[in-house]
Amino acid sequence: MELEGKRIVLGVTGGVAAYKAAGLLRLLTGAGADVQVAMTEAATRFVGPITFAALSGKPVLTDMWAAAADNRPMTHIDLTRAADAILVAPATADFIARLAQGRADDLLATLILARACPLLLAPAMNRQMWDNPATQRNLELLRQDGVICLGPATGAQACGEEGMGRMLEPETLQEALRAFFTPKSLTEKKVLLTAGPTFEAIDPVRGITNLSSGCMGYAVARAAAQAGAEVTLVSGPVARAAPFNVTRIAVQSALEMHAAVMKRAADADIFIAVAAVADYRAERIAPQKLKKSAGGLPEIRLTPNPDILAEVAALPDAPFCVGFAAESEQLETHAQQKRQRKNIPLIVGNLIQEGFGGETNHVVLFDDAGSHPLPVAPKTQIARQLLAHILALMEKK
């Protein structure tokens, strides 16, 4: 949604990572962005402009003089006036050096110098080039000019070495652009969340858990990070990557989740408990695998887990606390009772038969003012609406 209709100039400069820019272009156009590609001469030695022309559906700009000969002498100015952002991916050390000097010695550098829109760079280079003080000095100058630097990452490099300088992956760059275009309503807010199931061990290989996918919690964490918050996500075991710009603390059991949350709760402005925390755990975890041969039916004695949300809400200087209530009937009654029992200002209720485990959800927000049903929507959208509601309530306080 954030990229729908956005006019982006994708600059490609001459590095091996230029091939990844083709993947990035596909992701951006797939998300509805209108992308114009401009390449340096060196970039065309790595990937042919025809690839980018085919993927963007537009001729690729490579040559200042070709544009002029084509009766479009002011291409550089027209383009940057119309653009919402310029992203250079990959940005080589040489190109970064040229930008830092404010040079206009090819079409892409000229476009950038003449821009009226934000500039984002995704550096890609050999680790020693990255570490070179000249490169760091150039980047510092560009940062002072308001240029946003995305990455690089560390890892295996095309030259066979290992280290800092890999371009961020296309999916990560797409996420960074989405975040860039999201209004920054949560800047300077610290958001702490729980997500996913917990796993309560019975013996070294078995345990009690549930089917929570973590989808909703991760969507809220991602939306909060995109809105500019500093986000910490305490997550039970799920097969998901941490969202861009989110610090993830991986835990297994409710006790581990409880400890991780309590350590950070006093520092948070907002606490959103999305995790499906097991209400009980085995009183004793068998140190060795339980064997059938032991005879008889095994008995597992359960003991209650701490209620993380209620404990955070009871802190002297508690953050703004939000809970989730998945119910199978009488949604309003159960959700409001849960909200009062835990003494929290807001709870998100949903009927499990209407969206458990799926990509969309149908939820109702319950607060002091009553109930606020949200239309059925993808969890990413519900997450944004929930954050807007939280902010509105916090401002009223």
- Residues lying near ligand CTP in the complex (CB under 6 A) are found at 194, 254, 273-275, 277, 279, 305, 307-309, 323-326, 338
Q: Which is nearer to ligand CTP, 150 or 308 (CB)?
A: 308
Cβ 272 vs Cβ 193: under 8 Å: yes
Cβ 43 vs Cβ 94: under 8 Å: no
Rounded CA gap, 207 and 205, in Å? Answer: 7
Classified as helix, coil or strand, 32 is: coil
How many other CB atoms are there within 10 angstroms of residue 154's CB atom? 13
The four Cα atoms 322, 326, 327, 331 give a dihedral, to 10 degrees, of 40
Classified as helix, coil or strand, 365 is: strand
Q: Which is nearer to ligand CTP, 161 or 279 (CB)?
A: 279
CB of 364 to ligand CTP, least distance (A): 14
Q: Which is nearer to ligand CTP, 4 or 279 (CB)?
A: 279
Q: Which is nearer to ligand CTP, 67 or 275 (CB)?
A: 275
DSSP structural state of residue 61? B
CB of 214 to ligand CTP, least distance (A): 12
The four Cα atoms 334, 336, 341, 345 give a dihedral, to 10 degrees, of 150
For every residue of 320-362, DSSP letters joined together read EEEEEEEESS-HHHHHHHHHHHHT-SEEEEEEGGGTSSSSEE-
CB of 155 to ligand CTP, least distance (A): 35
CB of 333 to ligand CTP, least distance (A): 12
CB of 275 to ligand CTP, least distance (A): 5
Q: Which residues are catalytic?
A: 159
Q: Which is nearer to ligand CTP, 175 or 307 (CB)?
A: 307
